A and B are shown apart, each in its own frame.
Chain A
Amino acid sequence: MGRMSSASLVHAVISSVFWAVFFGSLLGGCEDTCLDADGQCTVSTPCEALAFTCPSPTATVITLGVGDPIVGGVDALAAPGDVVLSNGVVSAVIDALDHPHYVAPTGGQLLDLVSASGDNDSLTHLFHAVGLLPGDSFHYERMTTTQGEGYAAVQVHGRLDGYDDVRVVTRYEIRPCEPGIRVRTEIQNRAIETRIWALVDAWYWSGREVIPFAPGVGRGFEQPGIIDPVEASWERQPFMLAGSHGERPATYLEVACSEEELYGFHSDQISAVGTEPRIVQPRSYEVFERFIGVTDGSALGPASDVALELRRQLHAEQYAVVRGQVEGRALGDEVRASVEISQGTGAMAAEDRAAFTQVVPAADGSFSARVPRGHTYHAQLFNFGRPGDSAEVTVGVAATEAEFGTLTAEDPAELELSVLLEGSADFAQVFVRPADEETRQSVSARLFGSFSSTPPCAPLLGAPQGGSPACDRVLVRDPVTVLLPAGSYDLFATAGLFATVARETVTLAPGETRAVELGLSRLDIAPVGTLGADFHVHGGASFDSTVPDFDRVQAFLAANVDVIAATDHDAVWDYADARAALSADDRIQVMVGLETTGHILFDLTPGEDIPQVIGHWNVWPMPFDAAGPYRGAPWDELVEPGALFDRFVQAGWPEETGVIQLNHPWSEAQFGRDLGFPRAVGVDANQPLPREDDGTGPGLVLRTPPGAAFSNADYHTQEVMNGTSNEDLQPFREYWFYLLNQGIVRAGTANSDSHGLVDGVVGTPRTLVWTDQTVADFDQATFNRAVRDGEMIGTNGPVIEVSTVDAAGAPRTPSVQHFAPGAAGLVHIRVTAAPWVPVEEVRVIVNGQVARTFAAELMHPSDPFGVDGALRFEGDLALSEILPGGSADAWVVVEAGSPLPVAGDINCDGIVDTGDNNGDGEVDYRDVDRNDDDLVDAADLDEIDGPPEACDRDQDVGPLGHPAPPARGEVGYEFLAVTPGGYPMSFTNPLLFDRDGGGFTGPGLGAAP
């Protein structure tokens, strides 16, 4: 031992002891949280400053059992095992831990929230997260319920899904008389590294559901959503509101208790409100308390009234009541007349005022709303979505009431619509279109001016998300009356693809009432032995639809389809009540199915940094369980398709006779979620698909996931046409051809993917299935065998009949069954269509290439509203003229309709992606809409520094082009009027020629036609 300073040693010891004492003194007196108690403690009551009273105070918590009544509403999904908090004013459903929904990895989140009526759930889901990445979601592991004096509560403990070292606990508490639930979340970063959190309640709306609202300058219904940089999306707001607009609407609200205000953003997909994004040091924790409420109806006023009472109690913010009166007739409807109240004056530009709330005048025209004191308020009346009269009032700091005075509403016209089919009242749909530019400009509007990314309605007859009338469309059976702004309109009545279209032009003055009767005739176009089917439709059971079941089934009937595959997102639904109410089963067969919809991102594609989902898959039939989780559907997250198919079987899908369909295989991802499996895994259509799993993304397409009984390619049909506007026809078609060329044969279908009365027209397009059945003697298994066999065509108007004979002399029609071609070598082609459907050319596709086009040979009807001229083309074509020489296998598909728009493949993945959108005759980077404003112009080039590298896979692409829309009076205008955004198109399934006798193995990529 060397020299040692005794003084040094003494001081070292003293300092160590001192630190130990110091540490010990600090460890006492921790704040009362449950973050270090491993679930054994009780989380503090949230929002303790609140107190509501009522005559019959009650608060209960129950765990739902089999047979217990469940809340109702378009989004209601409560099931046994879920927990319900009720107080007679509201009921809230917390999903069971093993019943996760949508983006949330586990239950323990808010699934349903209804007012006292108990039947207006319009909440898709509310889950908790601290960011936008998959691992940022709360993963709850334990749930407890408690009930005591004056409260009932659910407490859930867990962690962040991607971080075991972040602990979370949430208490949902309901107290008597309160119009909502109190929620307290505690979260602590137990990691050693610094993180970032924005602790939010993520209200998953999913589109076409509610319209969120947050007070603020230039805000209200106008919300920018997620902007760049992302953190700038978080805006301060005193509360948030969100109203649904369906059959039994509800409005939701959230107010922060532990903070003065909320921070968050809103879009029609999701609202996220909570705390401001902030850096979180190791051990730091957050506590966030808030009140989540619900009121009846779609108007925001009642909900903002609750929000202000909450803020008065929590934050001592005093309010006054402003009142007003609207003069006019037929009031009480949100589209007919609505008042938006904002802070500011009429002299200010609308975007400079601070939107505060919105009310719907009662039938007698009266309205009122609570507002904070000490401001001037502006009331803006909206008629059919367009601004009208306005008023303002100043509310003093001590005032308790103020009066806007009287606002005068526009006098509407009234239209009494009736449609006769073959002389009798029947199901039909009427499209109301402006007949001149002046009317179009005058009546174009969006509901509350919200979400400018969606097209306006002209006119706005009803909420686009809801039932009839919706936007500019009306379902008609018996005479129906609609209110609309004065103007000149074309009224188009349609009863589907195989009936005439009727048109009536009317000019309506303010206050005028007009009765219009439109007559339709059935057309003998559908080939004998066929049933028209739509294998992809959604209703209110889907998380992104609020169309009422009754209207949905009425739309099925108005489209005159024979078979529907009900394929709601992530939930099985059978529409039984609506079918019964409309006696629909006499005219239509509904096969109960499902569209699985991946929400939770995971590592799917090898080498891909961005987590993904497997896209959407339709499956039918599925057993319906009226009260079960997901109503009988399996949980569809975090698996490859083959493993998902196993879950179908476990859920009762009949493997031998059921159908699995690959939906929209090449659609662009939405909200970071892939819609089509092959695009998600990065298929390069210039290269053959790996037959074995080679560790690449494309290698996933044909592989069987470990432990699965199915391969990822064990589906039966693929959508070639999806949606009424048919915007992705070309890439879907090219992917289908790509598989056929490799001998990977799946039947092609055409479906509307309709989610409501506006986004797509049921049955347009549809699949015509050759089967010897009728609706009356329908056998699902037999029908589905024909579907699996591909005995069908897809169409939005033209009907193609193709036949030939095989080597044995037997007649053959398109299907997925291969055969040796007959010696005669002729293909017979017949094309028919309703007179309002233009058919400009018939294309014969051989091995993916156009081998022959008929155009001059086609016949065209003289009267688009008549009943004559259905036959457009009929003739024989020698196979020797179109098939390549030699004995290699070949396939033939026939198409009819409009010429396809010019399209190019600028990212060189073998699938067209972009149209000639700037019209310069060349498809290149200059045709890309980079700023998503639905225009291709110079502004899009400002988004890039220069031309992207040729064939850069990551470059922006699209959109694909459409034929120029015909003007009023031009050929095709009638088609466009009842087929919004679409152009005529039909296709057959293939004729598969096994020319070498070895079965159909495909001609290979790049095979010559």
Chain B
Amino acid sequence: MTRDRLMLLTLLTLLLGVSVAQPAVAQNSPDAPDADGLEPCATVSRSRPIGPLQVGNLDGMLAVPHRACPRAELAVGGDFLLVADSADLYGNIRINGRVRGSVPLLDSKLEAFVSWEAVRYQTILSAVSAAYLGLGYLSFGVSGQVYEEGGAVIAVTSRFVAPTTTGLDQGSYPLALDVGLTAAYQLNPALRLHGWFTLLGSVGAGGPGEPRGGLRFGGGLDWAMAPAISMVVEAVTGFGYADAIDLLAAQLGIRLGLGDEVGLELALSLPIIAPRGLTTGALPITAALMVNWHLP
């Protein structure tokens, strides 16, 4: 498999995905809260982000749960990863400039989304260090709401991650997929719970396949302190992808709704258990800041 062939297949896939989609037809606008305040897909400040925090440590946002509530939006921002393990003389710093977009498909319950690391800078620090600056990974997928009742909503999501990097991957090009369920439940007008379960897998193309699979689940609480601001706390666990138990992370976020159009999410993830987590003596931090424009 050549790299050119891989890129072509990726683009074809993207085009195919778009071609099967139908123009979005709004049915029930998720932006307007129910009168009783128990609408899990609405925010008083229309642009405030919702759903699981969009922060993760895997390339291309693999296994980062997508929200259960479709939205049409465009977002730009970046994410930052730091892994410092002085005992092992290992440091990993990654900074991505990211563009993300989503549009409803067929009906308001179905959404296509894409996220692309338009700029990726990464440096590995050890006895010898090196850096990469170029394009990052592209991920895209669909999410479909399959349940909605009594303040609860459940969606099936799926994401594909393609290696659109420029010289970062060598010999073998990783392809990754996650499929999962994301749920949200409006506990009261100020509190919304969300949870997710994700199966993830990846495989190398062009070289030894080295298939890898695992699952993650987690949950969190979104507390709207005011119509335009909320705090989010989450716990996420992972199994099987790198180790039997390969992730236990605490995540924290703050979300702002800046009027009807512009929202902001700042998220932080701190892996406690991970191949290089706090329990191994390392300091791993992932952070993401995204500004989104809520499209009509």
- Name the contact of A196 in the complex, choosing from B128, B146, B205 (C-beta under 8 A): B128
- Name the contact of B127 in the complex, choosing from A15, A131, A285 (C-beta under 8 A): A131
Q: Does B36 contact A (CB under 8 A)?
A: no
- What sequence of 0s and 1s flags, for each residue 102-127 of chain B, a beta carbon within 8 Å of any chain A beta carbon? 00011101100000000000111011
- What sequence of 0s and 1s flags, for each residue 1-32 of chain B, a beta carbon within 8 Å of any chain A beta carbon? 10000100100010011001000000000000
Q: Which residues of A contact B105 (CB under 8 A)?
A: 11
Q: Does A18 contact B (CB under 8 A)?
A: yes
Contact B158 A16 (CB under 8 A): yes
A residues with a Cβ closer than 8 A to B are 1-5, 7-9, 11-12, 14-16, 18-19, 22-23, 25-31, 33, 35-36, 131-133, 136, 188, 190-196, 198, 229-231, 234, 276-287, 609
**A136 CA to B127 CA in the complex, in Å?**
10
Contact B16 A3 (CB under 8 A): no
Contact B130 A11 (CB under 8 A): no
A985 nearest CB across to chain B (Å): 39
Contact B129 A18 (CB under 8 A): no
B155 nearest CB across to chain A (Å): 8
Having A30-B206, A196-B128, one finds 18 other A-B pairs with CB under 8 Å, namely A3-B147, A7-B106, A11-B106, A15-B141, A15-B158, A16-B179, A22-B9, A30-B208, A31-B206, A192-B212, A192-B241, A194-B122, A229-B129, A277-B129, A279-B123, A281-B165, A281-B168, A286-B171
B135 nearest CB across to chain A (Å): 13
Q: Which residues of B contact A196 (CB under 8 A)?
A: 124, 126, 128-130
**A198 CA to B129 CA in the complex, in Å?**
9
Contact A192 B208 (CB under 8 A): no
Q: Does B218 contact A (CB under 8 A)?
A: no
Contact A277 B206 (CB under 8 A): no
Q: What total of chain B residues lie within 8 Å of the partner, measured CB to CB?
A: 66
**A133 CA to B88 CA in the complex, in Å?**
10
**A2 CA to B148 CA in the complex, in Å?**
6
Residue of A nearest to B131 (CB): A279
- Name the contact of A277 in the complex, choosing from B59, B128, B168, B204 (C-beta under 8 A): B128
Contact A2 B149 (CB under 8 A): yes
- Name the contact of A285 in the complex, choosing from B16, B123, B165, B207 (C-beta under 8 A): B207
A363 nearest CB across to chain B (Å): 46
Q: A231-B130, A283-B207, A286-B170 are known contacts. Are A22 and B13 too (CB-CB below 8 A)?
A: yes
- What sequence of 0s and 1s flags, for each residue 141-174 of chain B, a beta carbon within 8 Å of any chain A beta carbon? 1101111111010001010100001001111101
A166 nearest CB across to chain B (Å): 12
Contact B17 A15 (CB under 8 A): yes
A40 nearest CB across to chain B (Å): 14
- Name the contact of B208 in the complex, choosing from A3, A22, A188 (C-beta under 8 A): A188
Q: Does B175 contact A (CB under 8 A)?
A: yes
**A23 CA to B242 CA in the complex, in Å?**
20
**A190 CA to B242 CA in the complex, in Å?**
10
Could you count the A-B residue pairs with CB atoms below 8 Å apart for me: how many are there? 182
Contact B169 A284 (CB under 8 A): yes
Q: Does B209 contact A (CB under 8 A)?
A: yes
A-B contact pairs, 20 of them (CB 8 A): A1-B147, A2-B147, A2-B149, A7-B110, A11-B105, A15-B142, A15-B158, A16-B158, A133-B89, A188-B208, A193-B83, A194-B92, A198-B128, A230-B128, A231-B128, A277-B128, A278-B130, A283-B172, A286-B170, A286-B171
Contact A11 B142 (CB under 8 A): yes
**A7 CA to B144 CA in the complex, in Å?**
9
Residue of B nearest to A13 (CB): B156
B86 nearest CB across to chain A (Å): 7
Q: Which of B94, B132, B205, B275 counts the most A-chain CB atoms under 10 A from its CB?
A: B205
Contact A8 B124 (CB under 8 A): no
Q: Does B71 contact A (CB under 8 A)?
A: no
Contact A5 B126 (CB under 8 A): no
Residue of A nearest to B178 (CB): A19
Contact B170 A285 (CB under 8 A): yes
**A169 CA to B60 CA in the complex, in Å?**
30
Contact A33 B129 (CB under 8 A): no
Q: Which residues of B contact A3 (CB under 8 A)?
A: 147-149
**A193 CA to B87 CA in the complex, in Å?**
16
Contact B89 A188 (CB under 8 A): no
Q: Which of B6, B148, B172 counts the most A-chain CB atoms under 10 A from its CB?
A: B172
A302 nearest CB across to chain B (Å): 33
Q: Which residues of B contact A23 (CB under 8 A)?
A: 175, 177, 203
Q: A11-B105, A26-B1 are known contacts. Are A188 and B147 too (CB-CB below 8 A)?
A: no
**A28 CA to B105 CA in the complex, in Å?**
33
Contact A33 B208 (CB under 8 A): yes
**A278 CA to B123 CA in the complex, in Å?**
9
B59 nearest CB across to chain A (Å): 8
Interface residues of B in 239-260 (CB under 8 A from A): 241-242, 246
Q: Which residues of B contact A15 (CB under 8 A)?
A: 17, 141-142, 158
Contact A279 B9 (CB under 8 A): no
Q: Which residues of B contact A276 (CB under 8 A)?
A: 130
A10 nearest CB across to chain B (Å): 9
**A849 CA to B132 CA in the complex, in Å?**
60
B65 nearest CB across to chain A (Å): 15
Interface residues of B in 61-113 (CB under 8 A from A): 83, 86-87, 89, 92, 94, 105-107, 109-110
Residue of A nearest to B106 (CB): A7
A37 nearest CB across to chain B (Å): 9
Q: Which of B13, B179, B204 counts the most A-chain CB atoms under 10 A from its CB?
A: B204
Q: Does B276 contact A (CB under 8 A)?
A: yes
Contact A30 B9 (CB under 8 A): no
**A22 CA to B15 CA in the complex, in Å?**
13
- Name the contact of A279 in the complex, choosing from B83, B107, B168 (C-beta under 8 A): B168
B188 nearest CB across to chain A (Å): 20
B152 nearest CB across to chain A (Å): 7
**A7 CA to B17 CA in the complex, in Å?**
15
Residue of A nearest to B86 (CB): A609
